[in-house]
Amino acid sequence: MKIGFDHEKYLTEQTQYILERVDNNHKLYLEFGGKLFTDHHAARVLPGFDVNAKVKLLTQLKDNLEIIICVYAGDIEKNKIRADYGITYDMDVMRLIDDLRGLGLNINSVVITRYQEQPSATKFIEKLKRRGIKTYTHKFTKGYPTDVEMIVSKDGYGANPFIETTKPLVVVTAPGPGSGKLATCLSQLYHESRNGVQAGYSKFETFPIWNLPLKHPVNIAYESATVDLKDVNQIDSFHLEAYDETVVNYNRDIEVFPVLKRILEKITGEESIYKSPTDMGVNQAGFSITDDEVVRAAAKQEIIRRYFQSLCEYKKGHFDLETAQRAELIMKDLDLKPEERNVVVPAREKAGDAIGAAIELHDGRIVTARGSALINPSAALILNAIKLLSGIPDELDLISPSILETIIALKGDVLNHKNSQLNIEEVLIALSISSNTNPTSKKAYEKLFDLRACEVHCTVILSQADESMFRSLGINFTSDDQFATKDLFYI
């Protein structure tokens, strides 16, 4: 893989810049957007970016920071699912706590935002409290967004409980957008001001990258990744007016800036140091791009991936037609075609009248597969790929057919699964067992690590189980927007 981004430089400069912001205040509330862990989008559009760069950044600052996690009560109530993990937002909060604690990071508390005593949110609060997690509830802020006098008053932000913090840097994060991070930061600033503490606010989001051109593919890839949120990149007019410098931000930050600036000035009683929404950001990613052509090409591939994903999400009922059409328009704006993804045509050619799949290995070789009576196409593809990588003849079985048949019998006869064909996880478990006694199986098994960051396409919508396994293997996947079966319930 060609590298276009200097991760070490980014980590150093980003840490220094955040510390500079901390030094300018007694306390800094840093709204932390995007994914803390496994930011595969950033790694795909900025080749060389470490998927865990953000959390590594936090571990460098851990002696000076504590973390507040926000989650919107409405998302808990409607069981909103994180598409990348396949878990609900409340479960993701607990996952975040476990993962961050595992790195020695200090979790201050969880804030349930816009709480209206929703039953599911109330149960979640009790669950957290019983596990010893400090939990607060914030209600909708009276007067927001127009009545600044009401917002910055005892009946506005003052109605929220104050969250006691002890570190100079307080990171406010969440499992997804719209979780109330900004409102939580501003509520804390209000209380800190009343307590005589000079507290500041900044925002950290990787995309869009403010010092790249508006139509740079990396920034357009951000729009493609957020088609469901309807985010649109724009020139920051406030920054242009204040500094005569053209920079990029996105519509929601630009739209809210005038109100946010007035709120900050009302809280502090002073003119805001920020002249634009871009001023508020601390993102240094643009300075660590080392090869613009490499990241442009990578971003275009990500746009194609997001196009396929949007079509599938529409077919599954998760996106509306307008959202899917917007993903298509982004493709047309860059004159991109689905077939420019190298694995698409081979997968479709392999399919014929069945289901086909293809994977592109790091050396450019493309491996294809179709399913069989025993295993599905995705599982067959993985086996074919590791056979090729380990130099094992295609006709050799890595797993005894009798073992696969025994598992199929278990699924169908004992567990009553309608679809007894084995998926990736089931096949890999069988392979791992076989590798204990079969040197050939072990040789192939060890090649699984070489599949990370490879590209896969399947001619049908993948099952949830296979999507999860491709993610776990670190494989970037897409699929055509066709269902594998006419059955309405298929996992």
Lowest-confidence range among 7-16, 260-269, 407-416, 439-448? Answer: 407-416
Yes or no: say if 462 and 357 are a contact pair by the CB < 8 Å rule.
no
Question: How far is the C-alpha of 113 from the C-alpha of 74, rounded, in Å?
Answer: 9
> Which tokens belong to 365?
């070789």
Flag whether 489 is in a domain.
no
- 77: three-class secondary structure by DSSP: helix
Question: How far is the C-alpha of 148 from the C-alpha of 156, rounded, in Å?
Answer: 9
Res 489: pLDDT: 65
Is 80 exceeded by the pLDDT of residue 86?
no
DSSP letter (8 states) at residue 141: P
Flag whether 391 is in a domain.
yes
Lowest-confidence range among 29-38, 88-97, 374-383? Answer: 29-38
Q: How confident is the model at residue 487 (pLDDT cuts 50, 70, 90)?
A: confident
Res 332: pLDDT: 97
Res 84: pLDDT: 67
Question: Does 239 lie in the same domain as 107?
Answer: yes
Question: Does 357 lie in the same domain as 280?
Answer: no
pLDDT, mean of residues 297-304: 98
In sequence order, the β-bridge partners of residue 72 are: 113
pLDDT tens digits, 191-234: 999 999 989 999 999 999 999 999 999 999 999 999 998 999 99
Boundary (domain end) residue, out of 247, 265, 288: 288
Q: Cα-Cα-Cα-Cα dihedral of 265, 266, 267, 269, to 10°?
A: 70
Lowest-confidence range among 75-84, 129-138, 148-157, 393-402? Answer: 75-84
pLDDT, mean of residues 387-399: 94
Q: Quick one: what percent of the chain has pLDDT higher than 70?
A: 99
pLDDT, mean of residues 302-312: 97
User: φ, ψ for residue 438 (rounded to 5)?
Assistant: -115, 110
Is 60 exceeded by the pLDDT of residue 491?
no
R_g of the chain computed on alpha carbons: 25
Res 24: pLDDT: 83
Question: How far is the C-alpha of 102 from the C-alpha of 198, rounded, in Å?
Answer: 31
Res 414: pLDDT: 85
Flag whether 88 is in a domain.
yes
Is 60 exceeded by the pLDDT of residue 358?
yes
pLDDT, mean of residues 127-132: 96
Question: Does 410 lie in the same domain as 271?
Answer: no
Flag whether 299 is in a domain.
no
pLDDT, mean of residues 39-54: 95
- What counts of helices (H) and strands (E) characterise the chain? 20, 14
Taking alpha carbons only, the member of 111, 292, 314 closest to residue 212 is 292
Is 90 exceeded by the pLDDT of residue 82?
no
Res 47: pLDDT: 97
Res 490: pLDDT: 55
The angle formed by the CA atoms of residues 468, 470 and 8, to the nearest 5 degrees, is 105
Over the chain, what is the mean pLDDT? 94
Res 37: pLDDT: 87
- Alpha helices, H only, 132-236: 148-151, 181-194, 217-225
Tokens 């590298």 -> residue: 3
Question: Does 444 lie in the same domain as 377?
Answer: yes
Question: Does 374 lie in the same domain as 265?
Answer: no
Flag whether 332 is in a domain.
no
Question: Does 366 lie in the same domain as 248?
Answer: no
The β-bridge relationship of strands 356-360 and 455-458 is: antiparallel
Element housing 476 (H / E): strand 476-479
Flag whether 313 is in a domain.
no
Q: Quick one: what percent of the chain has pLDDT higher than 90?
A: 87
How far out from the chain centre does Cα 130 lie?
29
pLDDT, mean of residues 108-129: 97
Boundary (domain end) residue, out of 288, 307, 326: 288
Yes or no: say if 227 and 323 are a contact pair by the CB < 8 Å rule.
yes
pLDDT, mean of residues 81-92: 81
Query: Residue 402's domain spans which residues?
Result: 341-479
Question: Does 139 lie in the same domain as 27?
Answer: yes
pLDDT, mean of residues 350-371: 95
Yes or no: say if 192 and 201 are a contact pair by the CB < 8 Å rule.
no
Q: How confident is the model at residue 353 (pLDDT cuts 50, 70, 90)?
A: confident
Question: Does 348 lie in the same domain as 232?
Answer: no
Question: Does 212 lie in the same domain as 99?
Answer: yes
Within 146-207, strands assigned E span 169-173, 199-204
Flag whether 328 is in a domain.
no
Question: Does 345 lie in the same domain as 220?
Answer: no
Let me know how long the chain is.
Answer: 491
Question: How far is the C-alpha of 279 from the C-alpha of 273, rounded, in Å?
Answer: 9
Is 90 exceeded by the pLDDT of residue 350?
yes
Question: Does 368 lie in the same domain as 242?
Answer: no
Question: Does 234 lie in the same domain as 125?
Answer: yes
- Answer left, alpha or beta for residue 131, where phi above 0 means left and psi between -120 and 50 means alpha: alpha
Res 192: pLDDT: 97
What Å distances lie between residue 171 and 181, 249, 278, CA to CA?
10, 21, 19
Boundary (domain end) residue, out of 288, 306, 324: 288
Flag whether 314 is in a domain.
no
Q: How confident is the model at residue 1 (pLDDT cuts 50, 70, 90)?
A: confident
Q: Indicate the number of domains in the chain.
A: 2
pLDDT, mean of residues 174-199: 94
Lowest-confidence range among 205-219, 264-278, 475-489? Answer: 475-489
Res 27: pLDDT: 95
Give me the CATH number covering residue 164. Answer: 3.10.630.10
Give me the CATH number covering residue 388. Answer: 3.40.140.40
